[in-house]
């Protein structure tokens, strides 16, 4: 069973991280840090001040850290390598460590699509995955799984996941209840003559309408978002270097992802930091600390779904024991 180390005291973050890193990573090597830098105006996203203690701990162990992420699929400065580098520079991350925005990839086949996985991640000598645990409309919450299932893939694969989750309407079973229109987080569904009309351009592909339709009149084009996200995450996780470790910040637990260029309301109080070599169990532990009902209420979906699929596609399970530090 996986042991997850749990730290609540932020003051001890650097010293505790150093002790953990010493026991896991060899000295005097390069280490790549997978991170989500966040949108410019989202104050819940990571700041250089958040990550600096981790950088210091790695360097104290003789490691040479580089931060990395990939461009996003939606309309943003972060959609291009050059634009994302500008965001990183303006946020000040390049002052604490070298930063890479990668559009280099290798292709890995999953059950339903071929994922273009960030090349640097699978070729890294050592890897540290730093995730921010928070809510997410498309999968209930975002943590380590989403850090790979979206963040570890190229734009084309990210779009494939969203597009593959968009609904197909079967009118013969629809009763016109309007549940889909009521729950759609992006108002992409309207009711016309007691039947849903879906604006696929506005649709996020979150699968919320499909999951909540009482007559299953809306079904995914390929599979629900949680399933495709887990497939993308598994394409990364199953091909990472042996020395891969996970650190999750369980604080600033906002309703929505750091991909939004705005600051959302906070759903739960800060809990601290989790350390593990198991990306699935660390997400489960985060969920247990906060309570699944928080995300169920906020996003009308079972947040355990992505965990179920991630277990199916990787060697990892959700089983863990918590060790307080």
pLDDT digits (tens, 9 = 90+) for 28-41: 999 999 999 999 99
pLDDT for res 257: 92
Average confidence (pLDDT) over 221-227: 98
Say if residues 75 and 128 touch (Cβ distance below 8 Å). no
pTM (2 decimals)?
0.96
pLDDT for res 220: 97
Q: Other C-beta atoms within 10 Å of 136: how many?
A: 28
Pairing of strands 105-109, 266-268: unpaired
Nearest to 295 by CA among 208, 181, 187: 208
In the predicted structure, residue 307 carries a pLDDT above the cut 90: yes
Q: What is the DSSP letter of 248?
A: E
pLDDT digits (tens, 9 = 90+) for 58-109: 999 999 999 999 999 999 999 999 999 999 999 999 999 999 999 999 999 9
CA distance 261 to 286: 24
pLDDT digits (tens, 9 = 90+) for 124-151: 999 999 999 999 999 999 999 999 999 9
pLDDT for res 270: 96
Say if residues 275 and 246 touch (Cβ distance below 8 Å). yes
Residue whose token pair is 């959609």 = 79
pLDDT for res 1: 87
pLDDT for res 260: 86
Say if residues 68 and 32 touch (Cβ distance below 8 Å). yes
pLDDT digits (tens, 9 = 90+) for 240-276: 999 999 999 999 999 999 998 898 999 999 999 999 9
pLDDT digits (tens, 9 = 90+) for 41-57: 999 999 999 999 999 99
Write out the DSSP string of 273-323: EEEES-HHHHHHHHHHHH-HHHHHHHHSS-TTHHHHHHHHHSS--S-EEEE
- Tell me what percent of the residues of the chain surpass a pLDDT of 70: 100
Residue whose token pair is 């009902």 = 293
CA distance 323 to 325: 6
pLDDT for res 3: 97
List the domains of the chain with CATH numbers: 2-160+225-324 (3.40.50), 166-220 (3.30.70.20)
């Amino acid at each position: 069973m996986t042991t997850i180390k749990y730290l609540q005291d932020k003051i001890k973050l650097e010293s505790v991280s150093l002790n953990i890193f010493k026991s896991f990573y060899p000295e005097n090597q390069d280490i790549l840090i997978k991170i989500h830098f966040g949108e410019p105006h989202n104050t819940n996203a990571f700041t250089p001040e958040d990550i600096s203690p981790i950088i210091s701990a790695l360097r104290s162990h003789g490691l040479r850290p580089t931060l990395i992420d990939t461009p996003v699929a939606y309309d943003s400065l972060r959609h291009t390598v050059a634009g994302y580098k500008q965001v990183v520079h303006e946020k000040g991350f390049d002052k604490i460590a070298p930063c890479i925005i990668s559009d280099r990839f290798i292709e890995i086949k999953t059950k339903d699509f071929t994922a273009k996985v960030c090349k640097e991640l699978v070729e890294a000598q050592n890897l540290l995955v730093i995730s921010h645990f928070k809510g997410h409309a498309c999968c209930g919450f975002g943590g380590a799984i989403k850090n790979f299932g979206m963040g570890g893939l190229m734009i084309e694969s990210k779009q494939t996941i969203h597009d593959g989750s968009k609904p197909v309407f079967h009118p013969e079973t629809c009763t016109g209840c309007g549940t889909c229109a009521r729950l759609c987080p992006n108002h992409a569904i309207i009711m016309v003559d007691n039947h849903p009309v879906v604006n696929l351009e506005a649709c996020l592909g979150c699968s919320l309408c499909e999951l909540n339709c009482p007559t299953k009149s809306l079904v995914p084009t390929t599979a629900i978002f949680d399933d495709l996200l887990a497939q993308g995450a598994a394409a990364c996780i199953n091909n990472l270097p042996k020395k891969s470790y996970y650190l999750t910040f369980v604080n600033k637990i906002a309703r929505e992802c750091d991909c939004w260029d705005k600051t959302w309301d906070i759903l739960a109080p800060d809990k601290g930091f989790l350390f593990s070599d198991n990306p699935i169990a660390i997400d489960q532990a985060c969920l247990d600390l906060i309570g699944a009902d928080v995300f169920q209420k906020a996003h009308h979906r079972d947040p355990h779904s992505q965990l179920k699929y991630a277990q199916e596609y990787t060697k990892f399970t959700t089983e863990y024991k918590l060790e307080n530090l």
